[in-house]
Amino acid sequence: MAYIGKSLVGILNENKVVDSMTGDGSDTTLTLSRTPGSVNNVEVFIDGIYQTPDVEYTLAGDTITFTSAPEVGVTVVAVSGADSTIINPAAGSITGAKIVDNAITGAKVAALSASKLTGALPALSGSGLTGLPAANLTGALPAIDGSALTGLPAANLTGALPAIDGSALTGLSGVTKSASDPLVTTNPSGGVGQLFLNTTSGEMYACTDATTDANVWTNVGPGTGDITPLPAFYGPRGLTGGGDIGVVANYAGAAKIEYVTIQTAGNAAHFGNFYGPGRDAIDSTSNGTRGLWLGGNKGANAMANDIDYVTCATIANAADFGDLSLARQGVGGAANVTRAVTAGGYVNGGGTRDTMDYVTVATLGTALVFGNASTSRWGNHGVASDTRIVFSTGGGNAASLMDYITIATLGDATTFGNFISMSDGGFCGDGTRGVHIGGANIEYITIATPGNATNFGTMTTYGSNPYGGSVCGDGSRGVHIGGTINSPQASHVNMDYITIATTGNSTTFGNAFYSRYSHQSCSGG
């Protein structure tokens, strides 16, 4: 049959079905005897003239619908191909359901433009990111925070991270950043476990004790150590009283108390006066709040049992605390926040003693016997941790010997070790280390570890081996005050200081208010 239209070669090569009708001027549909795969799989002719699909007719299932009803008497022929044959599919006619699973490889999408990847990807976990070549992961990722990194298996996080500095650690929960270390007063919002990053040094700290204004920050990597509050029995103010004023004992002058601010180099100022008589060869200690002066010589070898006290933060005269168990001079001791313990001393006509007394610092009253030192002694000094006191000997027998006691447990002292070269002076400490300053020598010990002392440095501004000075400290710095030399004998107003946690020679601090020796100091406030 003759016709006008495109070649039927493709259609006639397969099993075809021919359907026909005669136009009546009103009927617009022709029902086919098969369902073609698409409108492009059927050819329609009217009186041999080819009809354009989707223009002059449409296909829905097995029904052809004409745009206009074929005229009366015209012959309509529809030639349908096999259902699976699709010739020249129309734009937008292929759906995902028509594509066989796994038929498209990465190589087929290598040249996809960004415009073809619009819209949001469905949520996926790290396990789904397999087989991606590195070349397909170029460029910068959008900013993310830690909360978005969920579901990543450990196997997908191998290899080394690029170097970063502290400034890149943004959006991290539980981390505080600063250009300096935290302080004990740096209160963590998240409590124990809060991290703190020093962006200058790169050091990291974790809060291990979240006590308001007394926090402990533990260094969790290489660095300069932990940040811990000073023991509560230290304070910022150093107080000294008693002693011999000038060369000859002046007991009226010895009744005067003066003070310094330990972290601020400068001269001492007047604080107040003793409650009892002025006296030399005296002991002093503190629990950080209350300072005590105990015993001493009040003139003509008249031994004193007096205990005077002050509130370290309040400039005022001392008040009466109570009495020692035995009147004597040259006692020495130390205290924690609860208890003060003294050891030794010299009794007129009775020589040196090994007696140890104690008082509860917050409670006024007479001292009680604690136990006995390992040997009799006088002119000794002490340094404390929270739990232990180490005593020097000072004078009398075994002048370089040190003893220790456990503050909470009554009983006799135990031998600790020996000084390198004992010189009369005093102790300061930070609760861990004790530093003895006196004469030309500065030595230190670790309070928790019995053993001999180690060289710290020398006194640089005192001349020839001064003795009889006193020492106060705030847990960070120790200040040596006054003292005398034998030849020619002269007392000093000199004050030097050291940094307890380091080693080295002393540095000039300032001048005492009085030139004195055989006095004693404490700290608090």
Cis preceding-peptide flag for 188 (omega within 30 of 0): no
Digit-coded pLDDT (tens) for 360-386: 999 999 999 999 999 888 888 899 999
The CA distance from 46 to 23, in Å, is: 9
Flag whether pLDDT at 84 surpasses 60. Answer: no
Asked if residue 203 lies in contact with residue 195, where contact means CB atoms within 8 angstroms, the answer is: no
Residue of 184, 190, 181, 178 lying closest to 220 (CA atoms): 181
Sketch the domain layout of the chain as residue ranges. 9-80, 166-219, 237-524
**237-524: CATH, from 1.10.260.40, 2.120.10.80, 2.40.50.140, 3.40.190.10:** 2.120.10.80
pLDDT at position 473, please? Answer: 95
pLDDT at 86 over 50: no
Complete DSSP assignment for 156-186: GG-SPPPP--GGG--S-TTEEEESS---TT-
Q: In 85-235, which ranges are E strands?
A: 175-178, 195-198, 204-209, 216-219
What confidence score (pLDDT) does residue 124 get?
A: 58
Q: Which residues contact 28 (CB under 8 A, 6 or more apart)?
A: 65, 66, 68, 69
Indicate the DSSP class of residue 71.
Answer: P
Q: How far apart are CA 225 and CA 90, in angstroms?
A: 75
Cα separation, 91 vs 360, whole angstroms? 97
Nearest Cα neighbor of 521 from 487, 489, 504, 497 is 497
3-state secondary structure of 146: helix
Give the whole-angstrom CA distance, residue 506 versus residue 523.
Answer: 19
Q: What is the pLDDT of residues 289-322, one digit of tens each?
A: 999 999 999 887 889 999 999 999 999 999 999 9
pLDDT in tens, 179-216: 998 988 899 998 999 999 999 988 999 999 998 888 88
- Read off the pLDDT band of 53 (50, 70, 90): very high
Q: Considering only 49-58, 198-207, 487-496, which range has the smallest mean pLDDT? A: 487-496
350: number of Cβ within 10 Å: 11
Cβ–Cβ < 8 Å for 372, 354:
yes
- The pLDDT value given to residue 18: 92
pLDDT at 11: 45
266 HSE (CA, 13 A, CB side): 10
Average pLDDT over every residue of 407-415: 97
In this prediction, what percent of the chain has a pLDDT beyond 90?
50
Predicted local distance difference test score (pLDDT) of residue 145: 60
Q: What does the pLDDT look like over 4-37, one tens digit per residue?
A: 554 444 444 457 889 999 999 899 999 988 888 7
| Rounded Cα–Cα distance for residues 482 and 333 (Å) | 19
First to last CA, the chain: 121
The secondary element (H helix, E strand) that includes residue 258 is strand 256-261
Asked whether residue 164 carries a pLDDT value surpassing 60, the answer given is no
Residue 228: pLDDT band (50, 70, 90) is confident
